[in-house]
């Protein structure tokens, strides 16, 4: 007897069904992957299972915790079902335009629904962004945690299809498959299946079926995100390149109008009709086929979902006031719904007080005008609240107590509401704004307002900052009363100013006084490796209160209270490291057990060093590290040392090492910084996005007394790595000759000055001494000190002194393509993208009779 332990055990292994009519009409074998036979009746059950498993494995949530997701329906059904089986609650943020059937099904599975208007992704009230904010809030409130599934940019979604759906199709077709096609929602299904199939047979054609109104057709055919028309379909159609879509090996794309796709039971998402029309060759073509209800709204004749094997699930309503309750208000509502405001902080001085409130209020979803003001009513006190266009409230909610009024205690519950102008009563309103603010209404007299503006940039040092540090820094920076505003730094500023956390504009008034730091909440500034902000997220607030003096003619007039400004600190990776690709030993020690991090020992020694990298690895390596040997992962058909391998060889090596798509890689070597940049460059050339180098390598790690282990590398579970090779990163002999002859690119040699001039022998026998005529010499040793990359200023100086023009293209070279990686890393740190790395380097040039050689200085 075959018995499944629970509903999770029957996800996947869906059959392929021959589509007789389509196959007969075309002479092709067209197969449908029957994903409607999953217990939740859609392919999204697979993604849901992997998203939840991944979160549990990472400790983001525990049984009793909550899954939060923004979804058009099917992923929510899968998450609710899987979560229920694994002891997790589920909160779904869903566009209100989705079909009643989906919403009813989600409620029957016990999910709590937050319905929001359907707005573009760029809008802060898009359902995906609302779900992210909801997850953050629940994570703070639930002791068992809450995690944002983030199906669009969490590559565990894609991994589900790399490991299950794609291999199933390959297995069930016995490898006799010519093409695959489906639509894109999050992108995980198409990308994952495509990667799995392409890994097995690169010649398989991958197609994307896009509805009208989506932008993926344009993206895959022209490289531009453009959309035209509209569609009644639900759950598919994407307007941006998600993390799951990135790198998807799509060969062809089709745009399917409703009138064409709606005639087929498979629905537009299967893409069967355009593919069979445009591909007349005989082929076996699996499609993803789902029940029609998952794609068409109720008025189009969709059928109600039936959750086979899911068990009876009674509807459950969220408790009152839970998780930003959804409610829509229209013209008949005299005012917006009252909400509870909690006093979370109180500051008093000279009989006046400021109160920090935590509350959620209703606000307009659109149609507002800049400068519009509503009135916040808190405990009978009326206070103005400004709004901006599209109803995105910028000003903080402020509760001001008049001098002499006793401040309420922390924890006091107050009643709050906002009355907006009358025209807002005709607009749809919804909740979702979580506000914290502080104001100190101190009386001030005299003075005049200055107009000078200055910009303040402050960095978070490697050691981090505590509250006293921040207080002192702000007082030192500002030093007097000022009106402080804040804005996010731009990407350009971020690249130009590594470690920049926040930019503030300050308009100081004339006179004396201080800008006071009122409160810091949730501050968590632990140092990380690297110097660039690579990951963002609100991890703390600095509340700054500033009073602007009002002028000499009203000396007895009390100043209007200045609003507290909330400075959102970005999660930073801030140290003195010169490259964003470097990670400190402290960072590695903190992340060593991170399941998605693979540590590689990429050690290599020159023949003259008389050292054995493999033997030294067995003797001592960083715990959990894998051995990456550039003399093994190479082109086996070349006589030159460690030449770049094919994508197939590289992917196979990654699979064996447990390096899959979405994994982070950190590489080190036994000399501090020698061969690790070569390994880093190889991964970057094959499309890896998160590959880093350990600053100082193994010597620094050991010198700090950090742990090592001996023996063979631990066995890791094989993973799929999809190579997306940047062929332009590899320069060959022809490229170098052309660059030297034309002068269009500079060739920079990383060998020692003595070898470059021909005064020292080459470490490999049979090579001439000297250099390529017209090349430049920047020894890699000039960029490395004590096994660490030197500062950006020293890197720039080294290239400038060698005569290299950093405004022109550069090809890096060395003895055998190893230390050329150090030059590449240094140039990258300066923001200069090299034109290529000469893979054969002097091992090729110096051995050929048809390549001229010069001696002496450059």
Could you tell me if 243 and 153 are in contact, meaning their C-beta atoms sit under 8 angstroms apart?
yes
Report whether 833 contacts 827 (CB < 8 A): yes
The Cα 419–Cα 398 span in angstroms is: 14
Q: What φ, ψ does residue 794 adopt, rounded to 5°?
A: -70, -35
- 675 is annotated as an active-site residue: no
Residue 2: helix, strand or coil by DSSP? coil
Alpha carbons 777 and 767: distance in angstroms, whole number: 18
Instruction: Select which of 33, 42, 44, 780 is catalytic.
Output: 44
Measured over all CA atoms, what is the biggest interatomic distance in the chain, rounded to whole angstroms?
Answer: 94
Count the neighbouring beta carbons within 10 Å of the beta carbon of residue 354.
26
Distance CA 806, CA 831 (A): 10
Beta bridge partners of 358: 342
Closest CA to 656 of 722, 725, 716, 712: 716
The answer to whether residues 695 and 585 touch, using CB atoms and an 8 Å cutoff, is yes
Tracing tokens 């006091």 back to the chain, one arrives at 412
Helix (H), strand (E) counts: the chain = 23, 35
- CB neighbour list of residue 647: distance below 8 Å, 6 or more residues apart: 686, 723, 725
> ∠115-119-485 over CA atoms, to 5°?
105
CB hemisphere CA count around 478 (13 angstroms): 28
The pair of structure tokens assigned to 509 is: 């008034």
Q: How far is residue 208's CA from residue 275's CA, in Å, rounded to a whole number?
A: 9
- In contact, 686 and 713? CB cutoff 8 Å: no
Which DSSP string corresponds to 552-571? GGGTTSPPPPPPPEEEEEEP
| Helix, coil or strand: residue 777 | strand
If residue 195 lies in a helix (H) or strand (E), which one and from where to where? helix 188-200
Q: Which of 99, 269, 819, 843 is catalytic?
A: 269
Tell me whether residue 646 is one of the annotated catalytic residues: no
Distance CA 149, CA 650 (A): 31
Using CA atoms, how far apart are residues 179 and 283, in angstroms rounded to an integer? 7
- In angstroms, the first-to-last Cα distance of the chain is 80
Helix axes 44-58, 74-85, angle to 10 degrees: 50
* DSSP symbols for 415-450: EEEEE--GGGGGS-EEEEEEE------------B--
- Three-state SS string over 42-54 comes to CCHHHHHHHHHHH
Decide: 545 and 440 in contact? Cβ < 8 Å. yes
Q: Please, is 162 exposed, middle or buried when counting C-beta atoms within 10 Å of its C-beta (0-12, 13-18, 19+)?
A: buried
Q: Catalytic amino acids?
A: 44, 269
């Amino acid at each position: 007897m075959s018995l499944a332990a629970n509903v999770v055990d029957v996800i996947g292994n869906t059959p392929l069904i021959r589509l007789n009519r389509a196959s007969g009409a075309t002479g092709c074998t067209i197969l449908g992957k029957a994903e409607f036979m999953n217990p939740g009746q859609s392919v999204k059950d697979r993604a849901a299972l992997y998203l939840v498993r991944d979160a549990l494995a990472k400790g983001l949530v525990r049984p009793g915790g909550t899954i939060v997701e923004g979804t058009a329906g099917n992923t929510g059904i899968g998450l609710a079902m899987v979560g229920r089986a694994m002891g997790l609650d589920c909160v779904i943020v869903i566009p209100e335009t989705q079909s009643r059937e989906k919403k009813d099904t989600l409620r029957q599975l016990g999910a709590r629904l937050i319905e929001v208007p359907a707005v573009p992704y760029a809008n802060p009230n898009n359902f995906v962004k609302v779900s992210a904010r909801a997850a953050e809030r629940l994570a703070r409130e639930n002791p068992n945690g809450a995690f944002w599934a983030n199906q669009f940019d969490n590559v565990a979604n894609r991994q589900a299809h790399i490991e299950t759906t794609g291999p199933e199709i390959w297995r069930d077709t016995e490898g006799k498959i010519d093409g695959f096609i489906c639509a894109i929602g999050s992108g995980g299904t198409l990308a994952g299946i495509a990667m799995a199939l392409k890994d097995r047979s690169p010649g398989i054609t991958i197609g994307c079926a896009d509805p009208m109104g989506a932008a993926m057709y344009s993206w895959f055919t022209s490289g531009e995100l453009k959309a035209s028309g509209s569609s009644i379909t639900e759950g598919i159609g994407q307007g941006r390149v998600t993390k799951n879509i990135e790198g998807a090996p799509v060969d062809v794309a089709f745009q399917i109008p409703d009138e064409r796709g709606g005639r087929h039971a498979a629905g537009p998402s299967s893409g069967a009709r355009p593919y069979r029309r445009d591909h007349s060759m005989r082929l076996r073509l699996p499609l993803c086929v789902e029940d029609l209800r998952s794609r068409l709204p109720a008025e189009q004749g969709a059928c109600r979902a039936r959750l086979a094997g899911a068990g009876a699930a009674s509807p459950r309503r969220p408790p009152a006031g839970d998780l930003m309750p959804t409610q829509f208000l229209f013209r008949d509502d005299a005012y917006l719904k009252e909400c509870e405001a909690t006093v979370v902080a109180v500051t008093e001085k000279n009989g006046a007080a400021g109160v920090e409130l935590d509350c959620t209020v209703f606000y307009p979803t659109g149609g507002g005008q800049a400068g519009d003001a509503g009135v916040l009513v808190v405990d009978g006190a009326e206070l103005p609240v400004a709004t901006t266009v599209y109803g995105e409230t910028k000003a903080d909610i402020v509760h001001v107590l008049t001098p002499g009024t006793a401040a309420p205690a922390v924890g006091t519950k107050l009643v709050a509401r906002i009355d907006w102008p009358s025209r807002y009563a005709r607009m749809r309103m919804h909740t979702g704004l979580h506000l914290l603010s502080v104001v100190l209404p101190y009386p001030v007299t005299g003075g005049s307002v200055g107009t000078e503006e200055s910009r303040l940039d402050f960095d978070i040092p490697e050691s981090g900052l505590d509250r006293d540090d921040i207080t002192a820094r702000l007082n030192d920076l500002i030093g007097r009363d000022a009106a402080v505003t804040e804005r996010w730094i731009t990407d350009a500023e971020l690249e130009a100013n590594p470690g920049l956390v926040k930019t503030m504009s300050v308009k100081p008034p004339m006179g004396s006084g201080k800008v006071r730091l009122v409160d810091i909440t949730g501050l968590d500034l632990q140092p990380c490796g690297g110097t660039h902000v690579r990951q963002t997220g609100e991890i703390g607030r600095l509340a700054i209160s500033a009073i602007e003096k009002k002028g000499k003619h009203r000396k007895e007039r009390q100043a209007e209270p200045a609003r507290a400004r909330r400075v959102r600190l970005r999660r930073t990776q801030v140290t003195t490291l010169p490259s964003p690709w470097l990670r400190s030993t402290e960072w590695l020690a903190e992340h060593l057990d991170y399941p998605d991090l693979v540590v590689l020992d990429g050690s290599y020694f020159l023949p003259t060093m008389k050292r054995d990298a493999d033997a030294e690895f067995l003797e001592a390596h960083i715990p959990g590290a894998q051995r990456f040997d550039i003399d093994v992962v190479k082109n086996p058909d070349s006589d030159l040392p460690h030449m770049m391998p094919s994508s197939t060889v590289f992917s196979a090596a990654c699979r064996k090492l447990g390096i899959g798509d979405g994994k982070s890689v950190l590489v080190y070597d036994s000399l501090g910084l020698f061969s690790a940049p070569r390994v880093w460059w190889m991964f970057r050339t094959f499309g890896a996005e998160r590959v880093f180098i350990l600053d100082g390598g193994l010597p620094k790690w050991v010198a700090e007394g950090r742990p090592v282990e001996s023996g063979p590398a631990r066995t890791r579970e094989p993973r799929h790595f999809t190579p997306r090779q940047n062929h332009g990163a590899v320069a060959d002999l022809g490229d170098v000759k052309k660059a030297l002859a034309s002068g269009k690119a500079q060739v920079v040699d990383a060998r020692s000055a003595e070898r470059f001039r021909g005064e020292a022998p080459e470490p490999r026998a049979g090579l001439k001494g000297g250099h390529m005529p017209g090349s430049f010499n920047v020894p890699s040793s000039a960029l490395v000190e004590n096994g660490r990359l030197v500062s950006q200023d020293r890197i720039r100086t080294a290239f400038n002194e060698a005569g290299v023009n950093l405004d022109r293209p550069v090809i890096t070279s060395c003895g055998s393509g190893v230390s050329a990686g150090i030059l590449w890393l240094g140039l990258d740190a300066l923001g200069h993208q090299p034109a290529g790395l000469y893979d054969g380097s002097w091992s090729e040039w110096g051995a050929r009779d048809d390549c001229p050689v010069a001696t002496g200085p450059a």
